[in-house]
Amino acid sequence: MPTDPAQTYTDLLALEGVALEPARAAGVAELLQLQLETERKATQLIAFEAEPSGFARTLREGAK
Amino acid sequence: MSDLLAMSAAELARAIRARKTSSVEAMQAVLPAARKAHERLNCFVRIDDDGALAAARASDAAMARGRNAGPLAGVPMAHKDMYYREGECSSCGSKITRDRPAPATATALKRLDAAGAVQFGVLNMTEFAYGPTGHNYHWGHCRNAWNPDYLTGGSSSGSGTSVAARANFAALGSDTGGSIRLPSHFCGVAGIKPTYGRVSRAGAMPLSFSMDTVGPLARTVEDCALMLHSIAGQDPADATSSALPVPDYLAGLERPVKGQRIGVPTAYFRDALDPGIEKLLDASLDAFRSLGCEIVDVAIPGMDAWNRAGTAIIAAEAAAMHANWLRERPQDYSDQVRARLEIGAGVTAIQYLNALRLRDAALKTWLAEVMSRVDAVHAPVVAFATPSIAETDVGGGAKMNELMALVTRLMRPVNYLGLPSLAVPCGFQTHGLPCAFQLIGRPFDEGLLFRLGHAYQRATDWHTRRPTP
């Protein structure tokens, strides 16, 4: 992990052309790290072949 | 207050059809009520008296000629200011689009026009529909009709409070992470977040194309059924709109609900629930028992992960759509919306795509483990007592993430799963602010939710209570 996630995140957004308010950088970096941890756990639950389009079919087939 | 203003939209439509009143009379009653409510609640962005009266006169004239003008003929309505009407400006609650004429009319508005509804204004909302509390730092905060110091909920803030104040008969809202159900709860009105794809999103301001839904807030469940029936159905202008036929929600409304199984979540939804809200929810379950419904406990899987996955999708999609404005005019966003868009700009492609890939498995799990056991799930909309506007005025500061997560916690997983959910008022908290429960159903089973909600409203009178003007 980077030693200063807030700075890394600020730099990443700068590359995207978005100027992040310095006062918000630490809070944003913390939230995104939490999101990344959740994504790692959640991704273990899905099949290798899973793709987003399956959702619309399941929604339709889930109707009574 | 005029007797006309005490009517629901469905009652008014019936009275107009029966020539007991007219669209002009209804409009003449609602326009001053709207102006008066706006002074106290800051709920309207624009009211068009002359245009509305002319449209009401045209509606009455069409009816006098015997023309079948539709199920909502002559009913005055104002809608969240994010439904485009060709050539008119929709502020979307923002500074950025307030002077930007819309290229085309929203399908939902076209269908309400075809059903005979008469639009008289547009309503305040959270900036770009990206906030659950009802604060708006450009147009001023919207205020709760039951106590103007308290939250309306958002983002359909003006829709909720104008209907509660009897200054509007029904309103379109939108729900990406609770934006119909939250104002319904906080303002004490009914609201339906339909199944993803049930209503066309064409011509509605996008926030998150994978999660956005269009639906009404109204005084009664019957009104919601009438409104949804008028706007639902496939639309060539929205590729995500469903081809499944739209049932006649009103025809099925009076069917008995005896024997329906209502699930009460044993985890997540009732965690850390405010005792006052718990009491009101339990009383509503007693009412369903009295109607012959079977109330059963049901285990709810996966909600934390689904909530977070939904959050990542909305954040990423909103940031992608706002990328140009975020680069070129960041100063024109409020701190709060700008801060939330900045978070979305940092969501990785892997996070976003895996949140979308997980969605199918999540829905399959929900259908197999929950909807195989019950017909609908009964849950709170929020877990905490309604706070004041001042208490929740966190802007884009350090407390923002915590507040957003708290308010949307019981909402967002439902959007992630794409399910329909109906919010129904069920009483008042100890400080006099309303409370609602949500009924979550199977995909495209809005009809059953309406039946259950309507039966509940026939057995109770919470929906008839109105705030002091």
Which residue is associated with the tokens 């909305």? B314
> Do residue B443 and residue A27 have CB atoms under 8 angstroms apart?
no
Are residues B351 and A35 in contact, defined by beta-carbon separation less than 8 angstroms?
A: yes
Query: How far is Cα B225 from Cα B223, in angstroms, rounded to an integer?
Result: 5
Taking only the tens of pLDDT, chain B with its 469 residues reads 679 999 999 999 999 999 999 999 999 999 999 999 999 999 999 999 999 999 999 999 999 998 777 999 999 999 999 999 999 999 999 999 999 999 999 999 999 999 999 999 999 999 999 999 999 999 999 999 999 999 999 999 999 999 999 999 999 999 999 999 999 999 999 999 999 999 999 999 999 999 999 999 999 999 999 999 999 999 999 999 999 999 999 999 999 999 999 999 999 999 999 999 999 999 999 999 999 999 999 999 889 999 999 999 999 999 999 999 999 999 999 999 999 999 999 999 999 999 999 999 999 999 999 999 999 999 999 999 999 999 999 988 888 889 999 999 999 999 999 999 999 999 999 999 999 999 999 999 999 999 999 999 999 999 999 998 7
Q: Which of residues 338-367 of B touch A (CB under 8 A)?
A: 338-339, 342-343, 345-348, 350-351, 353-361, 363-364, 367
Which residue is associated with the tokens 């307030």? B98
Does the ipTM surpass 0.85?
no
3-state helix, strand, coil in chain A (%, to 5): 65, 0, 35
Query: How far is Cα B116 from Cα B72, in angstroms, rounded to an integer?
Result: 5
Residue of B nearest to A20 (CA): B342
Catalytic option among B22, B59, B80, B184: B80
Minimum-distance CB partner of A62 among B326, B357, B367: B367
Are residues A46 and A39 in contact, defined by beta-carbon separation less than 8 angstroms?
A: no
Amino acid identity of residue B438, one-letter, is: Q
Ramachandran angles phi, psi of B181, nearest 5°? -70, -35
- pTM comes to 0.96
Residues of A engaging B, defined by a Cβ cutoff of 8 Å: 9, 12-13, 16-21, 24, 27-29, 31-32, 34-36, 38-39, 41-43, 45-47, 50-52, 54-60, 62-64
Which residue from A52, A63, A41 is spatially nearest to B356, judged by alpha carbons? A52
Are residues B284 and B326 in contact, defined by beta-carbon separation less than 8 angstroms?
A: no
CA B424 to chain centre: 11
Query: How far is Cα B9 from Cα B16, in angstroms, rounded to an integer?
Result: 10
**B376-380/B170-175 β-pairing:** unpaired
